[in-house]
Amino acid sequence: MTTSSSGHPLTQLSEDERMFRDTVRQFAEDEIAPLVRRMDEDQHLDAGLVVRLFELGLMGIEIPEEHGGSGGTFFEAVLAVEGISAVDPAVGLLVDVHNTLVVKALARWGNAAQKQKYLPRLAADTVGAYALSEAGAGSDAFALQTRVERRGDSYVLNGRKLWISNAKEAGLFVVFATVDPGAGYKGITAFLVEQGARGFTIGRKEDKLGIRASSTCELIFEECAVPAEQVMGDVGMGYKIAIESLNEGRIGIGAQMLGLAEAAWQHAAKYARERRQFGKAIVEFQAMRFQLAEMATEIEAARLMVYNAARLKDAGLPFRKEAAMCKYFASQVAERVASLAVEVFGGSGFVKDYPVEKLYRDAKIGKIYEGTSFMQLATIAKQTLGDG
Ligand SMILES: Cc1cc2nc3c(=O)[nH]c(=O)nc-3n(C[C@H](O)[C@H](O)[C@H](O)COP(=O)(O)OP(=O)(O)OC[C@H]3O[C@@H](n4cnc5c(N)ncnc54)[C@H](O)[C@@H]3O)c2cc1C
């Protein structure tokens, strides 16, 4: 038995969705699982694995077929992030940022020439990164200080970005900078910057608690000139691009945390059946059964919330509140389930011989990136109570 069986219409998958989910999960078990421990220890994503993600179409899920993508739905992207994160949430993040932030932003806000140029590359071999945060601009993202100045046919970027996922692997960066710090959010503009652009360097790589295989780096722009045609959307529209893409992106983080929670539960349930104390399998103790039952219930609730938000998005219905709620709740569930899983394993849960130690470390980030839990609550309060 797994926690994934459910007869609820929201969690009921179509035949295509079920096949897609099973294929992704099988790939993750066969090809990612053997690499997880080494990638975590080395803090490095296996380069061959990234190639495989492209080959399998997992980096172009929503990219239209005419641009070389799979022409799939946002819901499928969410299923992919969930399935991969059940094996390695660090790889899940790579797939998530690429599909739900970078590709989505370009598909929605890029002009025809930008889509023609970059979507085929993002589907084929170029990883995307999304650079909004800075040292002084985290929750208050629009306080960003990276400056951009028009000079002739170019825009010249100066400043530093912090905490940028996929930075080591990425070939294309969506970078947010301001044309006028005095204009507040109205000066913020999004740029498409290629790796290797003159004046653009990748700085320090962070040494992290969890999702260690995912690269998280500083970006440094020093007199980095990008052609004017690399502006995505209009000058001054960057804040809208950031808000709208992060609204969708946080459903992806909900899916990452859902996959993590499912995996932690499955490892714990398996171990509880195998481990014997006081002459019986520990799963036979009611205290153990009830804890696992409680966690299975929370996972089911998280799944309903994540799938609901993704389905609303695909149906073109409002989803902002549901996206914030699903990320807020799924990250709590992931932390709780991973913590319980460590306890179910006893001493064995505290060492690296089993996956639950890593899942526990990986769970923490869900409450921090793409808006901390407090920021999700601020959105939920605004959406439910009004501006107040
Ligand atoms: C591993 C990792 C990967 C990341 N990847 C990316 C990426 O790819 N791209 C990107 O742009 N960014 C990325 N980030 C940045 C991430 O989004 C920020 O860290 C996050 O938004 C929080 O910002 P901060 O770290 O500056 O914390 P702060 O904003 O300084 O928050 C500190 C604490 O204060 C609380 N707080 C702040 N304001 C309020 C308030 N008004 N009311 C109540 N509490 C408040 C917060 O909830 C938090 O608990 C990543 C971060 C990490 C750690």
Q: Which of 62, 82, 248, 370 is catalytic?
A: 370
What distance in angstroms lies between residue 112's CA and the mean position of ligand 1's atoms? 33
Mind giving me the DSSP string for 317-348?
A: ---HHHHHHHHHHHHHHHHHHHHHHHHHTGGG
| Encoded tokens for 376 | 């999700």
Band (11; pLDDT cuts 50, 70, 90): confident
Integer Cα distance of 160 and 145 in angstroms:
8
Ligand 1 atom having least distance to the Cα of 141: 21
Percent of the chain beyond pLDDT 90?
95
Ligand 1, atom 50, lies closest to the CA of: 163
The minimum-distance atom of ligand 1 relative to the CA of 135 is 26
Do the Cβ atoms of 96 and 52 come closer than 8 Å?
no
Nearest CA to ligand 1 atom 48: 372
Residue 324 CA to ligand 1 center (angstroms) comes to 15
Atom of ligand 1 nearest to the CA of 176: 11
pLDDT band at 9 (very low <50, low <70, confident <90, very high): low
Q: pLDDT tens-digit profile of 351-384? A: 999 999 999 999 999 999 999 999 999 999 999 9
Residue 236 structure tokens: 């001054």
How far is the C-alpha of 267 from the C-alpha of 119, rounded, in Å?
38
Distance CA 244, CA 115 (A): 18
Query: What's the farthest any 2 CA atoms get from each other in the chain?
Result: 79
Is 370 designated active site?
Answer: yes
Average pLDDT of the chain to the nearest whole number: 96
- Residue identifier of the C-alpha nearest atom 30 of ligand 1: 138
Domains of the chain: 15-127 (1.10.540.10), 129-236 (2.40.110.10), 240-385 (1.20.140.10)
Q: What are phi and psi of 217, to 5 degrees?
A: -135, 165
Distance 98 CA to ligand 1 centre (A): 19
pLDDT mean over 92-104: 98
* pLDDT of the residue at 94: 98
Q: pLDDT value at position 6? A: 45
Give tens-digit pLDDT for 311-353: 999 999 999 999 999 999 999 999 999 999 999 999 999 999 9
Residues with CB under 6 A from ligand 1: 97, 130-133, 138-139, 163-165, 208, 216, 365, 368-372, 374-375
Distance 368 CA to ligand 1 centre (A): 6
